[in-house]
C-alpha cells in the first residue's frame, strides 16, 4: 500500500514541492536497484508502477518478466483468453505467446476493475494441491456437503454445455468461490466486450442466493460502482430451483433488458 501511495503522488500532476523532491530521488535510482524493489511488490502494485513513467514501464516490460505477467494475469483472471480460441495454460511454453503483450493485458484488466480493493477481495483462492476437473466421475470427497455436491454438478453441466458467451470456473476446492465471464450480447451496447464476475456461494446454498459482483466496470442501471448487481432473483425472488447457469444467463440478459424496478447505484 505504501508503494501504491508513492506511485500516485509521483504520477499526480498536482504534486506538491516535497513530492517533486521524492520524484527526483527516485529518478537517480539505477535500473538494477529498481528491479530489486519491484521484485518485492505484489502483482497489482507492479501494474500501478508500470503506469508511473516510461522508464518504469520499460523495466517491467523486459522479456524475462513476460512469464511473470502471464502468471499474474491467469492468477487474477483465470478465464482470460489471449485469443478467440481457448489456449491450454497448463504448460507455460504452450500458452505463452511471444508476440502477446501480457503486461499490457494485465494492466488493462486492472484498469477495468471497479477498484483496487475489489481486486484484492477477489484474488485466486485455489489451493496448489487440488484442482477442479469436471468429469463424469463423482469427486473424491468424504462426507461432501450437499451444497458442494450440487455446485460440482452445476459446474460440470456448465462446462459440458455452456450457454453462448458464458464461462465459469471454481477458484477453490470448497467450490464456494467462483469466477465467471460474460460476453456482451450481439446487438446490445455491450457487444464485443467481455465482463468478469465474482461469485461466492454460502454453505446454505441453494436455500440462500450467492453473492455476485462484477469484476469489470459496467455502466448499467442495475450495476453499482463496486460491481453490485440489482436483480430480484439474487434478492427477494431467489428460488432454490435456480442454478449457476441460470444465474449467469439472467445477468447476461440485463445487458439487453435492464430491470428498472431495482437500482444498484450507491453514493
Check if the beta carbon of residue 197 is closer than 8 Å to that of residue 168: no
Same domain, 151 and 113: no
Per the domain annotation, does 2 fall within a domain?
no
User: Residue 160 maps to which CATH number?
Assistant: 3.10.110.10
Per the domain annotation, does 102 fall within a domain?
yes
Per the domain annotation, does 115 fall within a domain?
yes
Beta bridge partners of 179: 169, 198
pLDDT: which is higher, 166 or 129: 166
Question: Which band of pLDDT confidence, cut at 50, 70 and 90, is reported for residue 23?
Answer: low
Q: Which three cell numbers stand for residue 106?
A: 494485465
Same domain, 157 and 98: no
Same domain, 85 and 178: no
- Render pLDDT for 73-108 as a digit per residue (tens, 0 to 9): 888 888 887 665 555 554 555 565 666 888 888 999
Domain extent for 102: 26-122
CB count in 10 Å sphere of residue 102: 22
- Render pLDDT for 200-246 as a digit per residue (tens, 0 to 9): 999 999 999 999 999 999 999 889 888 899 888 888 889 999 999 99
In sequence order, what are the residues at sequence separation of 6 or more whose Cβ sits closer than 8 angstroms to the Cβ of residue 220?
A: 254, 255, 258
Per the domain annotation, does 178 fall within a domain?
yes
Q: What percentage of the chain carries pLDDT values higher than 70?
A: 71
Same domain, 243 and 152: yes
Distance CA 72, CA 251 (A): 27
Per the domain annotation, does 151 fall within a domain?
yes
Question: Which band of pLDDT confidence, cut at 50, 70 and 90, is reported for residue 60?
Answer: confident
Per the domain annotation, does 12 fall within a domain?
no
pLDDT: which is higher, 112 or 8: 112
Same domain, 156 and 242: yes
Three-class secondary structure assignment of 139-204:
CCCCCCCHHHHHHHHHHHHHHHCCCCCEEEEECCCCCCEEEEEEECCCCCCCCCCEEEEEEECCCC
Question: Which band of pLDDT confidence, cut at 50, 70 and 90, is reported for residue 57?
Answer: confident
Question: Which band of pLDDT confidence, cut at 50, 70 and 90, is reported for residue 261?
Answer: low
pLDDT beyond 60 at 143: yes
Is residue 213 classed as helix, strand or coil in its secondary structure?
strand
pLDDT: which is higher, 250 or 35: 250
- When divided into structural domains, the chain yields a total of 2
pLDDT at 209 (0 to 100): 94
Average pLDDT value over all residues in the chain: 78
Per the domain annotation, does 134 fall within a domain?
no
pLDDT beyond 60 at 30: yes
**pTM check: above 0.85:** no
Per the domain annotation, does 171 fall within a domain?
yes
The predicted model gives 22-31 an average pLDDT of 70
Is residue 37 classed as helix, strand or coil in its secondary structure?
helix
Amino acid at each position: 500500500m505504501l508503494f501504491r501511495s508513492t506511485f500516485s503522488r509521483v504520477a499526480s500532476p498536482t504534486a506538491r514541492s516535497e513530492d517533486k523532491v521524492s520524484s527526483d530521488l527516485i529518478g537517480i535510482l539505477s535500473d538494477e536497484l529498481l528491479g530489486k524493489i519491484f521484485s518485492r511488490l505484489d502483482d497489482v502494485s507492479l501494474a500501478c508502477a508500470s503506469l508511473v513513467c516510461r522508464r518504469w514501464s520499460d523495466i517491467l516490460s523486459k522479456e524475462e518478466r513476460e512469464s511473470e505477467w502471464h502468471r499474474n494475469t491467469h492468477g487474477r483472471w483465470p478465464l482470460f483468453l489471449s485469443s478467440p480460441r481457448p489456449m491450454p495454460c497448463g504448460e507455460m511454453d504452450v500458452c505463452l505467446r511471444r508476440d502477446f503483450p501480457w503486461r499490457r493485458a494485465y494492466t488493462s484488466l486492472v484498469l477495468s476493475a471497479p477498484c483496487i480493493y475489489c481486486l484484492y477481495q477477489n484474488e485466486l483462492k485455489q489451493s496448489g494441491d487440488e484442482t477442479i476437473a469436471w468429469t463424469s466421475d463423482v469427486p473424491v470427497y468424504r462426507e461432501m456437503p450437499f451444497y458442494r455436491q450440487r455446485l460440482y454438478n452445476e459446474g460440470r453441466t456448465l462446462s459440458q454445455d455452456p450457454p453462448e458467451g458464458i464461462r465459469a470456473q471454481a477458484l477453490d476446492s470448497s467450490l464456494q468461490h467462483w469466477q465467471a465471464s460474460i460476453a456482451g450480447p450481439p446487438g446490445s451496447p455491450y457487444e464485443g466486450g467481455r465482463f468478469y464476475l465474482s461469485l461466492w456461494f454460502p454453505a446454505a446454498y441453494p436455500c440462500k442466493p450467492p453473492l455476485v459482483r462484477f469484476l469489470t466496470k459496467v455502466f448499467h442501471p442495475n450495476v453499482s460502482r463496486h460491481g453490485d448487481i440489482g436483480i430480484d432473483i439474487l434478492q427477494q425472488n431467489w428460488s432454490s430451483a435456480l442454478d449457476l447457469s441460470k444465474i449467469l444467463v439472467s445477468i447476461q440478459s440485463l445487458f439487453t433488458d435492464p430491470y428498472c424496478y431495482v437500482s444498484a447505484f450507491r453514493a
